[in-house]
Amino acid sequence: MTNTILRLGTRRSPLALAQAEEVRARLMAAHGLGAEAIELVTVLASGDRVQDRPLAEIGGKALWTKELDAALLAGEIQFAVHSAKDVETLRPAQIAIAAVLPRADVRDVLVGAASIAHLPSGARLGTSAPRRAAQLLNLRPDCQVVPFRGNVATRLAKLAAGEADATLLAAAGLIRLGQSEVGAALDATEWLPAPGQGAIAVECRSDDAKTVTLLAAIDHAPSRTGLLAERALLAALGGNCHSAIGVLTSLAGDMLTMRAVLFSPDGAERVEAEASFTAGDSAGPAGLAHALLAKASPAITAHFTGS
């Protein structure tokens, strides 16, 4: 399709590179390109540089995207690859999600015990994700949460060093790293995943029609539909990096069913609601958000700005 060398921006972590290689392979297959046609351009994201504090304390999800955004807007790269759950809900108008790859396993994997119920009394779970922390404390208030950040290898090393008794990782990330044998996957209907979990998003400049067309060939419509609905739910909730939310979305024909749960940060309170609506109906996720917030106590609504 083109003789120009295309530059694909990615973070430098092993998982980010694996995701970038998947994007490159799909583009090569779709357009008959050789590997030399797509150059991987790596950046060191702020979120990778600072690993001793929770994201919420140092800038939130933008720490995963701002360096790649700057490279994209400066024309240093044509497109960038992200774990969709790490992309902040409100994005610059100049940047568009041009492709979503087929969504992988959305579940969390527990490493260190066979299940949440099998965690020993008083167990220390390593995580810096508000959703994981609150969901654990809701189910097992006897357990403790200790801060855990870093890539998969770093967190597994911290676990092996005894900094915690167990930790949680995304199944999709383990699969992409060839480590699907690690840990025990949790039932997604009982332990709800993060919005966007398992999805890879490819972004480009909104006004770059050539790249938008190039990426359209690898866009997986059902995965895009589910992801955009979950992002619409987040937008309507007005959550932030301290907000604990889990969501599970299924698509049957042109109907989406979305089940979501909100927690207070300490896990003591939770509210849940479910809605079904036509794919692409932005009013559906917004209605679900309003239903959740209407039922929630101040301990939960304090961490959301929706209404």
Here the CATH number for the domain that contains residue 73 is 3.40.190.10
Does one domain contain both 175 and 246? no
Cα dist from 249 to 86, 254, 264, whole Å: 18, 13, 22
Give the CATH number of the domain where residue 275 resides: 3.30.160.40
Give domain status of residue 192, yes or no. Answer: no
Clarify whether residues 90 and 214 are in a common domain.
yes
Residue 20, pLDDT score: 97
pLDDT at residue 161 in the model: 96
Do 247 and 207 share a structural domain?
no
Catalytic residue among 48, 69, 86, 108: 86
**Local confidence pLDDT in tens for the 307 residues of the chain:** 455 789 999 999 999 999 999 999 999 999 999 989 999 999 876 555 555 555 555 444 556 688 899 999 999 999 999 999 989 888 999 999 999 999 999 999 999 999 999 999 999 999 999 999 999 999 999 999 999 888 899 999 999 999 999 999 999 999 999 999 999 999 999 999 999 999 999 999 999 999 999 999 999 999 999 999 999 999 999 987 779 999 999 999 999 999 999 999 999 999 999 999 999 898 999 999 999 999 999 999 999 987 5
Residues 19 and 168 in one domain: no
Extract the tokens encoding 84.
Answer: 């969709």
Task: Look up 86 and say whether it is catalytic.
Answer: yes
Same domain for 179 and 129 = yes
- Write out the residue range of the structural domain in which residue 151 sits: 108-185
First to last CA, the chain: 47
Same domain assignment for residues 69 and 131: no
Q: Is residue 59 part of a domain?
A: yes
Residue 226, domain member (yes or no):
no
**Long-range contacts (CB closer than 8 Å, 24 or more residues apart) made by 250-253:** 251/222, 251/225, 251/226, 251/279
**Do residue 97 and residue 203 come from a single domain?**
yes
Residue 299's beta-bridge partner residues? Answer: none
Residue 4 tokens, joined = 């120009």
State the pLDDT at residue 195. Answer: 95
In a domain, 306, yes or no: no
Same domain, 80 and 205: yes
Residues 92 and 204 in one domain: yes
Q: Is 193 inside any structural domain?
A: no
Question: Is 257 within a domain?
Answer: yes
pLDDT, position 64: 63
58 and 114 together in one domain: no
Asked if residue 227 is part of any domain, the answer here is: no
Q: Would you state the pLDDT for residue 65?
A: 83
Between CA 42 and CA 9 the distance in angstroms is 6
Residues 93 and 207 in one domain: yes
Number of folded domains in the chain?
Answer: 3
Same domain, yes or no, for 21 and 95? yes
